[in-house]
Chains A and B, each alone.
Chain A
Amino acid sequence: MPIQYYIALAACLFCIGVVGVVTRRNAIIIFMCIELMLNAVNLLLVAFSKMHYSSALAVNTHTNAGIDAQLFVFFIMVVAAAEVSVGLAIIVMMYRNVHSVDINFLNRLKN
């Protein structure tokens, strides 16, 4: 498949994530949208990695070009998992305190 498809899909996912983060007020939805953006990036990394690998394979059969990008994806997923655990913990604490996951309640830190 041409790389453009992957890029278009990733761009769509990213934009959905951005719009979700900007427009929604529910903390969990915002969280999911952030994950969506991360995954859009992951998708691009994998797609470009594959593209580089196939073009390098034509020159050298023992190449491992582009392999580092796929490693990177794992790191991102690990970091994202850690982030989710911290983030969800924050949201749980927030719910306990204010009985809501509406982020606009958080502005009571103001003043």
Chain B
Amino acid sequence: MISLIFLVPFFPLIGFLINGLFRRSLSKTAISIIGSGVILLSFIISIILFFDVKDNGGIVVHYFNFINVESFQIPFAFQVDQLSVIFLLIITGVGFLIHLYSTSYMHAEPTEHFGRYFSYLNLFVFSMLLLVLGANYVIMFIGWEGVGLCSYLLIGFWFKNDSYNYAATKAFVMNRIGDLGFLLAIFWILNRLGTATYTEVFQQASSLSPSDATAITLLLFVGAVGKSAQIPLYTWLPDAMAGPTPVSALIHAATMVTAGIYMIARSNVLYSLSHLSRDVVAIVGLATAILAATIALYQNDFKKVLAYSTVSQLGFMFLALGVGAYTTGVFHVMTHAFFKALLFLGAGSVIHAMNGEQDITKMGGLRKKLPITFFTFLIGVLAISGFPFTSGFISKDEILVATYAHSPMLFWFAVFAAALTAIYMFRLLMLVFYGGFRGTHEQEHHLHESPLAMTIPLIVLAILSAVGGFVQLPEAFGGHHYFNDFLSPVVPAEVPEGAGVATKEYYLLGGTAVGLIIIALATYKLFAVKKFTRVYTGFKKILADKWYIDELYNSIIVKPLNSIAGFLNTVIDKSIIDGIVNGTGRFVNYSARQLRLLQSGQVGNYILFMVLSITVLFLVFWNQEIILAFLQKIF
């Protein structure tokens, strides 16, 4: 099985090369088959690897030395263990479904751009696989940068639109801020331990001083904050919705944004050394969860709601990591990948049917026209809201229980955020699928259920969202922890057990069920309407305008930077640097004009100069000792 590992990222790379190089000559069908087929192959190998790892445990495969400087070595090696194999399955599995969906969703694109799209998507999968497979932080960083690049390319996929390009640049720049933190953390680790390989780093981690451990983990977290869109770097993710919807599903919901969670779960040994870092992670995560959820309440763009919901759910995952429940965080990554990919693909299906319309105030009553999309979307909404026995319920319930064990105060905040999640998701559901249609007649006429290539991924993901959580049943229902047990060799499970937990879970179960029904009824009454006002006032306006965070960043960071750049441009560059350069030129010109006067054309003058020069030469020659002595005295 070892020999198969390299094939997992190799297939998407091949797909990238073929689709990228031959995008002009291949037909759309060929591009679709190659683009999705390579991911399917990777998925099959990932399944084989999964069962192999399940039976035999993890392995590290060394290929060659990436950097080799005397005693310092960074090998190019892949680590396949329980954690990375879970991510392999999520990336290739969900990735394949989204590729399949894209073949239909992007079909209206010209062939050339269709090929470009699939080559970017394959490159993304390749980078993401590199990220999770790498056996040291440097290889992870290569993948980390690769996914950032692909994210940039795909957000700006429709590059003729300036605002999309701006969103792509914004995402890239904000990711770079995080990447800097990650890079510094790698340097710090290399400096203190002399190695970046996980196994060696974690073995020697106990020799780190507490301040070193805190600094490293905080810097790693800065990287995670950038990639996983947490406060204060989350604003790029909602803007990233400029990309095609399947891209949002794959990159900005299911996989890339969870890279930060993967990184922290992978580094759990380091995080267990620093309580401060864990508290920071938990608080930032929780704050993000609440902030993003409040913003999502009043968004009217279909994809923006889902984007803020993603930010909020990522916050939950960080909360889980911060309270020490690493496996729960990873578990939520998995369930979130199912239901959020489902929701985004459902959104894509609706937008497709609505001919590109994304404003939910112009939708409504779509459940009859798009039955499959509606049912799968409903399951997604139930899962993300935590309806009992769906995957989202089980993973979120675990997060809440773990948070309660850590600190009851954080628990109540988390419950608040979870309740907000349910509210905005049901609002979305009601606005889009219930009530009367609010769009134009043309749109109403155009409405149709999406083709099979789009509905099959929806159905598969809906099934996964519904039952995907049963690998990890809570205490209250017999309680088995296949997921935790599977991950335990890599990530220690810290799930509280015992009768007390089970009682609390009964309360949670009852509370969630009752709460969800109330929320569903309330949102039905409020939003399943024929007419919908979109003018917000007061506090609602603040939420609808996203707490003015973008404006704040603009005024305290972007504008000062722009004015500094403007100052450097006009004063330093144009006046000083250009002044020096132009001055040199002007001086040469001027002196040349003066010297030119010497060449008068009068032969007598020339001869006079000749004679004078010869006389001076002779004088110097005769008196050279005196002159030399004089010069020595001076210098």
Which residues of A are at the interface with B, using a C-beta cutoff of 8 A?
18, 21-23, 25, 30, 103-104, 106-110
Contacts and interface: CB of A to CB of B under 8 A. Distances in A.
A43 to B, nearest CB: 19
Interface string B580-620: 00000000000000000000111110011001000000000
A106 to B, nearest CB: 6
A110 B607 contact: no
A106 B606 CA distance: 13
Nearest to B608: A22
Contacts of A23: 604
A22 B602 contact: no
A36 to B, nearest CB: 14
State the 6 A-B residue pairs at the shortest beta-carbon distance, nearest first: A107-B601, A110-B601, A103-B603, A22-B608, A21-B607, A22-B607
Given A21-B611, A106-B601, 18 more contacts: A18-B611, A21-B607, A22-B604, A22-B607, A25-B604, A30-B603, A103-B603, A103-B604, A104-B602, A104-B604, A106-B603, A107-B600, A107-B601, A107-B602, A107-B603, A108-B601, A109-B601, A110-B600
Nearest to A107: B601
Main secondary structure of the interface of B (DSSP, over half): helix
Contacts of B602: 104, 107
Contacts, number: 25
Nearest to A34: B607
Contacts of B603: 30, 103-104, 106-107
Contacts of A103: 603-604
Nearest to A21: B607
Contacts of A30: 603
Contacts of B607: 21-22
B435 to A, nearest CB: 90
A78 to B, nearest CB: 24
Interface of B: 600-604, 607-608, 611
Contacts of B604: 22-23, 25, 103-104
A110 B603 CA distance: 11
B13 to A, nearest CB: 69
Nearest to B612: A22
18 contacts: A18-B611, A22-B604, A22-B607, A22-B608, A22-B611, A23-B604, A25-B604, A30-B603, A103-B604, A104-B602, A104-B603, A104-B604, A106-B601, A107-B601, A107-B602, A107-B603, A108-B601, A110-B601
Contacts of A108: 601
Nearest to B603: A103
B331 to A, nearest CB: 90
Contacts of A21: 607, 611
Contacts of B601: 106-110
A13 to B, nearest CB: 15
A24 B109 CA distance: 90
A25 B604 CA distance: 7
B389 to A, nearest CB: 100
Contacts of A104: 602-604
B605 to A, nearest CB: 9
A42 to B, nearest CB: 19
B227 to A, nearest CB: 71
Contacts of A106: 601, 603
A10 to B, nearest CB: 15
A23 B534 CA distance: 100
A96 B604 CA distance: 22
A22 to B, nearest CB: 5
A66 B345 CA distance: 111
Contacts of A18: 611
A70 to B, nearest CB: 26
Contacts of B611: 18, 21-22
A111 B430 CA distance: 89
Nearest to A111: B601
Contacts of B600: 107, 110
Nearest to B615: A18
Contacts of B608: 22
B350 to A, nearest CB: 81
A109 B600 CA distance: 11
A23 B605 CA distance: 9
A18 B604 CA distance: 11
B587 to A, nearest CB: 24
A103 to B, nearest CB: 5
A69 B602 CA distance: 36
A25 B608 CA distance: 13
Nearest to A108: B601
Nearest to A24: B604
A76 B321 CA distance: 103
A108 B611 CA distance: 24
A106 B603 CA distance: 8
A23 B611 CA distance: 12
Contacts of A109: 601
A14 to B, nearest CB: 11
Nearest to A23: B604
Nearest to B599: A110
A108 B112 CA distance: 69
A108 B607 CA distance: 18
B166 to A, nearest CB: 58
A60 B358 CA distance: 121
A103 B607 CA distance: 12
A30 B603 CA distance: 11
A35 to B, nearest CB: 15
A84 to B, nearest CB: 18
A30 B236 CA distance: 87
A108 B603 CA distance: 11
Nearest to B614: A18
A103 B603 CA distance: 7
A107 B605 CA distance: 11
Contacts of A107: 600-603
A103 B602 CA distance: 8
B400 to A, nearest CB: 94
Most buried by B among A22, A23, A30, A104: A22
A18 B601 CA distance: 19
Nearest to B600: A107
Interface centre among A18, A25, A109, by most chain B C-beta atoms within 10 angstroms, is: A18
A50 B537 CA distance: 121
A109 to B, nearest CB: 7
